[in-house]
Amino acid sequence: ASRPAAAVVAQAPVPRAAVVTQAPKPAADKQESARAAPVKPTPSTPAPAKPTKAAASPPAAPRSPDEACSGLNFFRKAFCVNRECANSRFTQHPQCVALRRDSEARERSERERQRGG
């Protein structure tokens, strides 16, 4: 009851999609065909993911321009803070008020230097 050594062949596992099933054989009579009706395969779609609590609530809005621009390098952060200060949400934030005051002082100084004063 054992196979000869030449008949044994190593088989790699076959992916499920590659498995071929035989079509049902025609039934001998109508009663048998009613009992042996082919079953339609159901699609194997994954169940929809359940939403998590983190996805349900939006992240908290940044409380300052620095917080909005955290994680950026020195140069990118300066541009980001300027952009955030132009946003109506932060125009009255103390950091933005100080930034505008310093910027206006530099502009005044530059104008006076150009006039020769």
Is 44 a domain residue? no
Tens digits of residue pLDDT in 13-28: 655 655 555 655 655 5
Q: Is residue 12 in a domain?
A: no
pTM above 0.75, yes or no: no
**Residue 25: inside a domain, yes or no?**
no
Neighbours of 33 (CB within 10 A): 13
- 111: burial class by Cβ within 10 Å (0-12, 13-18, 19+)? exposed
Task: For 58-117, write each residue's pLDDT tens digit.
Answer: 888 899 999 999 999 999 999 999 999 999 999 999 999 999 999 999 999 999 999 986
Domain ranges, residue 68: 61-115
Cβ within 8 Å of residue 95, ≥6 positions away = 64, 65, 66, 81, 85
Residue 35 pLDDT > 70: no
Number of domains in the chain: 1
Q: Is 64 exposed, middle or buried (0-12, 13-18, 19+ CB in 10 A)?
A: middle
Q: What pLDDT score does 63 carry?
A: 93
